Amino acid sequence: MEKQFISQNVLRPENSSDIVDKFTNEILVASATRLVHISDQLKFICDEIDPYHCEQIPDEARKILAEYNLEDTLDNPFYFTNVILRFLDIAETELKKRLH
């Protein structure tokens, strides 16, 4: 029997890689200043949204979710968390590459 890890079986829509790939492509062409802004926006989302209780999302957070096409990810708290953390990792990794 093949070993499987929880992260491999996280409930996520079929377009999971699409949303992350699209974000990655945007990051690769963004300026360093834009990367800092993106990272700040994603951290704001992490601070403001509890994916298990997201009935009342602040307007600023809604705008950011829309900007990164993350509105539909809120239907699945695990998927939302996975995607937002992947986005943060991608943005911060790219920013570190450019600064060093």
Judge whether residue 3 has pLDDT over 90: no
Instruction: Work out the number of other CB atoms within 10 angstroms of the CB of residue 90.
Output: 20
Please state the domain extents for the chain: 30-99
Angstrom CA distances, 15 to 38, 47, 71, 94, stand at 22, 25, 14, 23
Q: So what's the pLDDT on residue 8?
A: 43
Express each pLDDT in 33-84 by its tens digit: 999 999 999 999 999 999 999 888 999 999 999 999 999 999 999 999 999 9
End-to-end alpha-carbon separation of the chain, Å? 43
Query: The whole model's pTM is what?
Result: 0.80
Both structure tokens of 56: 């009342």
